[in-house]
A and B are shown apart, each in its own frame.
Chain A
Amino acid sequence: KAGVTQTPRYLIKTRGQQVTLSCSPISGHRSVSWYQQTPGQGLQFLFEYFSETQRNKGNFPGRFSGRQFSNSRSEMNVSTLELGDSALYLCASSFGGGQSDTQYFGPGTRLTVL
């Protein structure tokens, strides 16, 4: 099976712009979660989608949003980019989305905001 894929792998934007990141989960997986990784804050949970519904949300401002499509692919959007949004954004998928399920991570999208 193909793993979790994320596109693009690298992205450079300027402050005030918006960005959309894409994640394709492992075939058959219905849960997709997003995490932000920075040197200062570490790995932080953004949100989780299951069957096109947002099921959990982390403590991030409303500029961060996401959605999931009927084929389980997910996108996250960040509007009005700030310098502090520079980070590695990781997507993870799991089969049933339960608390004990293993999450399989993609390689991430490295976002740089100038």
Chain B
Amino acid sequence: AQSVTQLDSQVPVFEEAPVELRCNYSSSVSVYLFWYVQYPNQGLQLLLKYLSGSTLVKGINGFEAEFNKSQTSFHLRKPSVHISDTAEYFCAVSDKRTAGNKLTFGGGTRVLVKP
């Protein structure tokens, strides 16, 4: 079974500073990779996804992520955060071998942006 590990459960960061959220996944099978964000009392919203091709993926709201196959990682970065980026971020994978839409999520990283 797939597993996804988000190494930091909480990340405090000052406004306008850069942030990196780490994500590692089990390497037993080929996967598609996703980052979702969840704002308080809301559902999840897709930030970006990696399907194939260039390992640097750009998403919405200035976020980007880099796929590293040898390290089985998919870390998310933003060069300068805003107060509005305070939210919980989830890394997820879907198994290319499994028909259908099934996401396996990491435990989430809470980002708190301080003024």
Q: Is the interface of A mostly helix, strand, loop or mixed?
A: strand
Report the nearest A residue to B99, measured CB to CB: A55
Residue B44 interfacial (CB < 8 Å): yes
Report the nearest B residue to A3, measured CB to CB: B43
Complex CA gap A55/B94 in Å reads: 14
The answer to whether B101 and A31 touch across the interface, beta carbons within 8 angstroms, is yes
Report the nearest B residue to A59, measured CB to CB: B1
One of B32, B42, B104, B106 near A100 (C-beta < 8 A): B32
Question: Number of residues in A with C-beta < 8 Å to the partner?
Answer: 28
A43-B90 CB under 8 A given contacts A100-B51, A105-B45: yes
Residue A81 interfacial (CB < 8 Å): no
Q: Which of B41-98 contact A (CB under 8 A)?
A: 41-46, 49, 51, 90, 92, 94-96, 98
When A and B form their complex, what is the total count of cross-chain residue pairs whose Cβ atoms lie within 8 Å? 73
Complex CA gap A45/B43 in Å reads: 15
Residue B7 interfacial (CB < 8 Å): no
Residue A75 interfacial (CB < 8 Å): no
One of B43, B46, B90, B100 near A99 (C-beta < 8 A): B100
20 more contacts with CB within 8 A, not counting A102-B46, A105-B45, are: A35-B105, A42-B107, A43-B103, A43-B105, A50-B100, A55-B100, A56-B98, A90-B44, A94-B101, A97-B101, A98-B101, A99-B95, A99-B99, A99-B100, A99-B102, A100-B94, A102-B49, A104-B46, A107-B43, A108-B43
Residue ranges of B at the interface with A (Cβ–Cβ < 8 Å): 32, 36, 41-46, 49, 51, 90, 92, 94-96, 98-108
Residue ranges of A at the interface with B (Cβ–Cβ < 8 Å): 4, 31, 33, 35, 42-45, 48, 50, 55-56, 58, 90, 92, 94, 97-108
